[in-house]
Amino acid sequence: MFALYESYSDSFIVPNLEVKSQFLSLESTIQELPLQDFQIASSYLGKDIAPVFEANPLLPGVILRDRQDKLVGMISRRLFFEKMGSRYGIEMFYKRPIEALYRVSKTDISILPGNTLIVEAAQKSLQRQPELLYEPIVVEIEANVYRLLDVHQLLVAQSKIHELTSDLLKKQTQAKAIQTEKMASLGRMVAGVAHEIRNPVNCIWNNLIFLTSYLEEITKLLSAYDEISDSSPIINRIKEQIDYDSLQEELAETTQGIKLGSEQLLKIVNSLRNFSHMDESKKKQAYIHECIDSSLLILNNRLKKGIKVIKNYCTNLPMISCYSGQLSQVFMNLISNSIDALNEKLAELDLCDWQPQIEISTEVIVRKESDWLTVRIADNGLGIPLEIQDRIFENFFTTKPVGKGTGMGLAICYQIITEKHGGKLKLNSLPGKGTEFEIMIPIV
CA distance 437 to 256: 40
Whole-model pTM above 0.95?
no
More confident: 11 or 30: 30
- pLDDT at residue 1, as a whole number: 30
pLDDT value at residue 10:
42
Q: Which amino acid is at 365?
A: I
29 closest CA partner among 96, 115, 95, 104: 115
Give the pLDDT band of residue 361 (cuts 50, 70, 90): very high
Query: Per-residue pLDDT for 404 more than 60?
Result: no
- Statement: residue 395 has pLDDT above 70: no
For domain 9-149, say whether CATH 3.10.580.10 is its number.
yes
How many CB atoms sit inside 10 A of residue 195's CB? 13
> For 177-191, 313-327, 376-390, 411-425, which range has the lowest pLDDT when averaged over its residues?
177-191
**pLDDT at res. 271:** 65
Question: What mean pLDDT comes out for the span 404-425?
Answer: 81
Average pLDDT over residues 401-424: 76
The DSSP element (H or E) to which 373 belongs, if any, is: strand 371-379
Sequence-distant contacts of 312-317: CB under 8 A, at least 24 apart: 312/359, 312/360, 312/361, 312/362, 313/289, 313/360, 313/361, 313/362, 314/362, 314/363, 314/364, 316/364, 317/287, 317/288, 317/289, 317/362, 317/363, 317/364, 317/373
pLDDT score of 176 more than 80: no
pLDDT at residue 371 above 80?
yes
Question: Does the pLDDT at position 374 exceed 90?
Answer: yes
Nearest to 98 by CA among 39, 37, 13, 148: 39
State what percent of residues in the chain have pLDDT above 70. Answer: 82
The pLDDT assigned to 436 comes to: 94
- pLDDT above 60 for 419: yes
Q: Is the pLDDT of residue 23 over 80?
A: no
Residues 401 and 409 sit within 8 Å (Cβ to Cβ): no
**How far, in Å, CA of 239 to CA of 233, rounded?**
10
Give the mean pLDDT of 337-347: 87
Average pLDDT over residues 322-332: 87
Q: What is the dihedral of CA 253, 256, 260, 262, to 10 degrees?
A: 120
In degrees, rounded to 5, the angle at the alpha carbon of residue 335 between the alpha carbons of residues 262 and 341 is 130
102-128: per-residue pLDDT in tens? 787 777 888 899 899 988 888 888 888
Question: Residue 377 pLDDT > 90, yes or no?
Answer: yes
Q: Is it the case that residue 40 has pLDDT exceeding 90?
A: no
The topology under which CATH files domain 280-444 is Heat Shock Protein 90 (3.30.565)
Note the pLDDT of residue 11.
45
At residue 87, does pLDDT exceed 90? no
Banded pLDDT at 45 (limits 50, 70, 90): confident
pLDDT at residue 13 in the model: 46
Q: Name the residue among 163, 155, 150 with its Cα closest to residue 60.
A: 150
Q: Dump strand ranges (E) for 263-351.
A: 284-286, 308-312, 320-322
Q: Highest mean pLDDT: which of 183-197, 210-224, 409-423? A: 409-423
Task: Judge whether residue 19 has pLDDT over 60.
Answer: no
pLDDT band at 91 (very low <50, low <70, confident <90, very high): low
φ/ψ of 65, rounded to 5, equals: -125, 155
